[in-house]
């Protein structure tokens, strides 16, 4: 049940952010759902590989390089989904930061801890 709630939260946040951020475009609610699913899969399978490969850079930048990894994940999602587009790296960076913050807050509110 928590997975479905997280997916719905991600979908709504992606859809709403596409209206407020100038460089991010989602054509439909179905596109936002696909973005939420693909981002979940990329964060589960691809992001740990990126983090592992960039440990020295991440340590040198005191963890700020993880923001770059998040933006790259967003750009990969842009490449994979036709209904989703990001204009550039900075748009992807701001989108990933806002998405993470808003998801964290909403997950804390709506997901019950066991």
Percent of the chain exceeding pLDDT 90 equals 93
Predicted confidence at residue 101, as pLDDT, reads: 97
Fill in the DSSP letter of residue 85. E
Q: Are 94 and 21 in contact (CB under 8 A)?
A: yes
Residue length, the chain? 114
Predicted confidence at residue 73, as pLDDT, reads: 98
List the alpha helices (DSSP H) in the chain. Answer: 2-20, 29-45, 47-53, 55-60, 65-80, 89-110
Predicted confidence at residue 114, as pLDDT, reads: 66
Q: List, for residues 21-66, the tens digit of each pLDDT value.
A: 999 999 999 999 999 999 999 999 999 999 999 999 999 999 999 9
Strands (E), 8-97: 24-26, 84-86
Instruction: Map residue 83 onto helix, strand or coil.
Output: coil
Mark residue 5 as left, alpha or beta (left: phi above 0; alpha: psi -120 to 50; beta: remaining). alpha
User: Residues 85-99: what's their mean pLDDT?
Assistant: 97
Summary mean pLDDT of the chain:
95
Compute φ and ψ for 15, nearest 5 degrees. Answer: -65, -45
């Amino acid at each position: 049940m928590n997975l479905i709630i997280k997916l719905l939260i991600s979908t709504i946040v992606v859809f709403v952010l596409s209206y407020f951020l100038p460089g991010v475009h989602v054509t439909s609610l179905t596109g936002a759902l696909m973005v939420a699913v693909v981002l979940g899969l990329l964060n589960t399978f691809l992001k740990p590989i990126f983090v592992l490969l960039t440990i020295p850079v991440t340590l040198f930048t005191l963890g700020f390089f993880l923001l770059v990894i998040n933006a790259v994940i967003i750009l990969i999602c842009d490449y994979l989904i036709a209904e989703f587009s990001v204009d550039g790296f900075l748009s992807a960076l701001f989108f990933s930061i806002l998405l993470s913050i808003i998801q964290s807050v909403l997950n804390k509110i709506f997901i019950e801890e066991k």
